[in-house]
């Protein structure tokens, strides 16, 4: 049979109907309120490609090197064309239409349900299609489009990258009654970290997509299931909602003013949802993560999965998070949980603790030109300064120590993102430490001691501090994103549960080629240069999809370019920080800049509509208008794409009115530079480091003015400088009404808690 009804399907039918449909069938069988549906089985897809004899050509077409963007684009186009332009056999057509009529001639939702069991469902499912509001006339075409969605560029690339055979993945399609939800959300039937009888619900207006994709901060309700008490109600400021568009697409709408801060669920609805949740939990005999909707006062169950984050030891993740948060500064990240038995000698070297953790290892002094192969797993790299070509060795290392650099240096940024403890700015580490000796490094306190330590830590205590044990992050109205500088950190950054990437620095991708952009283009051609950027950004955009990723165009000072092949052609500048960098360089070299912009165009074509474009170091609106014209020249429509600028010069802060009028969607404070230029304190100069103060009233005054003006112009505001990880800055900005905060990877959890604390204080103040 090409189609099966949900009540004919159980959990054992995974192979035939895919994960999504199997679970809906199971719930229907248990008498739970699932909207009715039939499934076009995976066999139907398979027999379609075999009976029409397109299978061989299809799999040959996608057998390509997916790093070759041109080949990938052509393969995806041809494969989809093959499916979409081949007629469905008449018997299949009749069966589908008969099933549709039986469901009651109403518009339906058509969703794909992929069947490769070992594929990581969340990420893979994101590559599949969902069509809402599908009429009888469009049904067959939509089903074929679901089939063809197995062959988008992203899906082909993903399977190639992860070693899944194209012909081992089949696809089923669920055709389901539309639930035009008035409200929807998710529910954890038990506490997601302790497994205790505490249910947690998130709810927003409209269709569930807004909650699931993270586009909106939903209301949050905590219920003690034993007593039935609603213990906590957090009403979010819900700016957007998803609704059905006229053409069947899900579209985002502004929430009507009076509903933005209105509570979504009544007590009675909460109790009805909990009752349904308990039935699902009883059915599976394990706590569930449930997607639900309410339509015409009926509760519907859209999906249910087991909660996989429950800590079997019974320790609460929240309690762990609280114990871990640093009272004196999220800046310093999360403390190493284990108690240590010290056998090491008194401090020998001290610097800036720039990536948290305490580790022991053997010193490897690495000279910039030295062969990095001598760094083995577990060693401690000691260098004057790190460079992008050291990243593979940094990944192997247990710790990193540098003579030079501050909290925003390459070594500090990369080590934090890799989760490798580091001490930077230790001045004479390369002289004082000897190659081969064993030392213990404390990336929190910024010290290196001679000798080894025997940690008494358990595996659990030494777990990566950025890993989120609970999928329920503190619900905040202000978004908390994360900064990423090296694509290698993408997965780790995405696992923090951040609301997106607030700053993706592209310079590391380009500097790691070891050639200046112009030399790279000379040697390998424009296409290869564009591909280099596309590949770097793509891995981050993929890991976060559909959460937004703010990608910054090139911003490296000329002294960093001068160290690369081709660097002799770069200007030699007396003060590179005030020189040829950021948008200034880009506007002076429109040819090179347009290649970067073409990389954005390419990413949009690949389907990464979550990529946003950000311009660094602008002085005024004129810089922006000139860059905007170049964007248009390469075919980027500034009206259609989200783009914005960094505010990191006092001039840009003082020109904010004109900058808003230039059409930007957002601005983001680069406080490393804004502080440097406002206070005239070189951010890399240890002699004046004690004067470098992002919380200086002059810096805060500029930021306050910018936020005020942006709010009037409906331009969103953010911070992505190092100070985003400082609690005092978080306090100040949330108070001022900033839209998002983007800290370092190791500070995300603490910042989420800090933001929530401030928001709750503000709420309390407003009602007292
Ligand atoms: C900043 O200046 O704060 C910033 C985030 O940019 P960068 O550190 O890359 O100059
Ligand atoms: Mg900057």
How much is the pTM?
A: 0.60
Instruction: Calculate how far, in angstroms, residue 413's C-alpha sits from the geometric centre of ligand 2.
Output: 13
134 CB within 6 A, ligand 1: no
673 CB within 6 A, ligand 1: yes
Closest Cα to atom 4, ligand 1: which residue?
A: 670
The three-state (H, E, C) secondary structure of 686-732, written as one string: HHHHHHCCCCCHHHHHHHHHHHHHHHHCCCEEEECCHHHHCHHHHHH
492-505 burial, b if ≥16 CB within 10 A, otherwise e? bbbbbbbbbbbbbb
Q: What is the DSSP letter of 428?
A: S
Q: Identify the CA nearest to 528 among candidates 501, 546, 509, 507.
A: 509
**What is the mean pLDDT of the segment spanning 200-204?**
88
Cis (ω within 30 of 0) for the bond into 287? no
pLDDT > 70? residue 308: no
487 CB within 6 A, ligand 1: no
pLDDT grade for 621, boundaries at 50, 70 and 90: very high
Could you report the per-residue pLDDT of 412-453, keeping only the tens digit for each?
Answer: 888 988 889 999 888 889 988 988 889 999 988 889 988 877
The burial class, CB within 10 Å (0-12 / 13-18 / 19+), for 371 is exposed
Catalytic machinery residues = 410, 720
pLDDT grade for 118, boundaries at 50, 70 and 90: very low
Pairwise CA distance, residues 544 & 424, whole Å? 30
Q: Give the HSE-up count for residue 349: Cα atoms under 13 Å, Cβ half-sphere.
A: 30
550 CB within 6 A, ligand 1: no
Instruction: Calculate how far, in angstroms, residue 551's C-alpha sits from the geometric centre of ligand 2.
Output: 13
554 CB within 6 A, ligand 1: no
Closest Cα to atom 8, ligand 1: which residue?
A: 672
Q: What is the pLDDT of residue 409?
A: 75
649 CB within 6 A, ligand 1: no
List the alpha helices (DSSP H) in 111-201: 121-125, 139-148, 153-162
Pairwise CA distance, residues 298 & 291, whole Å? 14
Share of the chain above pLDDT 70, in %: 88
Pairwise CA distance, residues 673 & 352, whole Å? 19
pLDDT > 80? residue 68: no
Counting atoms of ligand 1 from 1, which one is nearest the CA of 505?
Answer: 9
pLDDT grade for 335, boundaries at 50, 70 and 90: very low
Instruction: Calculate how far, in angstroms, residue 671's C-alpha sits from the geometric centre of ligand 1.
Output: 7
Q: Identify the CA nearest to 743 among candidates 532, 493, 439.
A: 493
Ligand 1 pocket test target in 648, 652, 668 with most atoms within 8 Å of CB: 648
Q: What is the pLDDT of residue 678?
A: 98
413 CB within 6 A, ligand 1: no
Closest Cα to atom 1, ligand 1: which residue?
A: 670
**What is the mean pLDDT of the segment spanning 598-617?**
94
pLDDT > 60? residue 8: yes
**Three-class DSSP category at 544:** helix
Q: What is the pLDDT of residue 325?
A: 30
Counting atoms of ligand 1 from 1, which one is nearest the CA of 503?
Answer: 5
pLDDT grade for 332, boundaries at 50, 70 and 90: very low
Instruction: Calculate how far, in angstroms, residue 669's C-alpha sits from the geometric centre of ligand 1.
Output: 8
pLDDT grade for 704, boundaries at 50, 70 and 90: very high
Counting atoms of ligand 1 from 1, which one is nearest the CA of 671?
Answer: 3
Pairwise CA distance, residues 760 & 449, whole Å? 42
Residues 6+ apart with CB under 8 A from 275: none
**Three-class DSSP category at 47:** helix
721 CB within 6 A, ligand 1: yes
Ligand nearest to the CA of 407: 1
């Amino acid at each position: 049979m090409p189609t099966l009804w949900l009540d004919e399907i159980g959990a054992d039918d995974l192979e035939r109907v895919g994960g999504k449909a199997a679970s809906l069938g199971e719930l229907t069988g248990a008498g739970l309120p699932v909207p009715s549906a039939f499934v076009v089985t995976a066999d139907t897809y398979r027999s379609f490609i075999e009976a029409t004899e397109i299978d061989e050509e299809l799999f040959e077409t996608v057998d390509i090197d997916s790093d070759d963007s041109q080949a990938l684009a052509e393969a995806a186009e041809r494969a989809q064309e093959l499916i979409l332009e081949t007629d469905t056999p008449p018997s299949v057509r009749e069966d589908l239409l008969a099933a549709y009529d039986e469901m009651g001639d109403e518009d339906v939702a058509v969703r794909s349900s992929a069947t490769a069991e070992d594929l990581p469902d969340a990420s893979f499912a994101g590559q599949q299609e969902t069509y809402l509001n599908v009429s009888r006339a469009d049904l067959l075409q939509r089903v074929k489009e679901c089939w063809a969605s197995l062959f988008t560029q992203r899906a082909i690339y993903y399977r190639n990258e992860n070693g899944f055979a194209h012909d081992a993945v089949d696809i089923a399609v669920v055709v389901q009654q539309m639930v035009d939800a008035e409200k929807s959300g998710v529910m954890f039937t038990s506490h997601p970290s302790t497994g205790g009888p505490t249910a947690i619900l998130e709810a927003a207006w409209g269709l569930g997509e807004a909650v699931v994709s993270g586009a909106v901060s939903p209301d949050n309700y905590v219920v003690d299931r034993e007593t039935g008490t609603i213990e906590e109600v957090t009403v979010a400021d819900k700016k957007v909602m998803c609704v059905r568009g006229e053409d069947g697409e899900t579209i985002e709408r502004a929430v009507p003013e009076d509903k933005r801060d209105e509570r979504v669920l009544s007590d009675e609805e909460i109790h009805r949802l909990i009752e349904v949740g308990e039935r699902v939990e009883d059915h599976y005999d394990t706590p569930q993560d449930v997607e639900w909707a309410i339509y015409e006062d009926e509760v519907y169950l859209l999906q249910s999965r087991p909660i996989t984050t429950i800590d079997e030891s019974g320790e609460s993740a929240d309690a762990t998070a609280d114990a871990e948060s640093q009272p004196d500064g999220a800046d310093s990240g999360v403390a190493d949980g284990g108690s240590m038995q010290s056998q090491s000698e008194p401090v020998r070297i001290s610097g800036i603790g720039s990536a948290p953790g305490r580790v022991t290892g053997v010193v490897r002094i690495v000279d910039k030109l030295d062969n990095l192969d001598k760094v083995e797993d577990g060693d401690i790299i000691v260098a004057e300064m790190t460079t992008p070509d050291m990243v593979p060795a940094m990944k192997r290392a247990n710790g990193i120590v540098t003579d030079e650099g501050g909290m925003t240096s390459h070594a500090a940024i990369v080590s934090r993102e890799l989760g490798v403890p580091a001490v930077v700015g230790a001045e004479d580490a390369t002289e004082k430490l000897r190659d081969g000796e064993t030392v213990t490094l404390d990336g929190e306190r910024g010290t290196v001691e001679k000798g080894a330590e025997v940690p008494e830590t358990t595996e659990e205590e030494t777990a990566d501090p950025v890993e989120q044990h609970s999928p329920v992050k503190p619900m905040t109205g202000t978004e908390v994103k994360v900064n990423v500088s090296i694509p290698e950190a993408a997965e780790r950054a995405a696992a923090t549960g951040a609301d997106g990437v607030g700053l993706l620095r592209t310079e590391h991708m380009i500097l790691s080629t070891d050639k200046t952009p112009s030399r790279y283009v000379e040697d390998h051609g424009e296409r290869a240069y564009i591909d280099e950027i596309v590949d770097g950004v793509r891995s981050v955009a993929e890991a976060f999809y559909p959460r937004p990723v703010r990608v910054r165009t090139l911003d490296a000072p000329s002294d960093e370019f001068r160290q690369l092949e081709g660097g002799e052609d770069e200007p030699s500048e007396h003060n590179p920080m005030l020189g040829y960098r950021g948008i200034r360089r880009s506007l002076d070299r429109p040819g090179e800049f347009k290649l970067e912009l073409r990389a954005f165009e390419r990413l949009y074509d690949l389907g990464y509509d979550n990529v946003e474009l950000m311009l660094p170091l602008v002085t005024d609106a004129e810089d922006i208008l000139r860059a905007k014209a170049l964007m248009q020249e390469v075919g980027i429509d500034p009206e259609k794409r989200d783009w914005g600028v960094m505010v990191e010069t006092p001039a840009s802060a003082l020109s904010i009115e004109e900058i808003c009028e230039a059409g930007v969607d957002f601005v983001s404070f680069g406080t490393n530079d804004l502080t440097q230029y406002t206070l005239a304190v070189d951010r890399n100069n240890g002699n004046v480091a004690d004067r470098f103060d992002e919380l200086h009233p002059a810096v805060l005054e500029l930021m306050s003015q910018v936020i005020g003006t942006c709010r009037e112009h409906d331009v969103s505001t953010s911070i992505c400088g190092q100070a985003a990880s400082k609690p005092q800055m978080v306090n100040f900005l949330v108070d001022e009404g900033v839209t998002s905060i983007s800290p370092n990877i190791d500070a995300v959890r603490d910042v989420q808690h800090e933001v929530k604390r401030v928001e709750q204080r503000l709420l309390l103040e407003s009602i007292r």
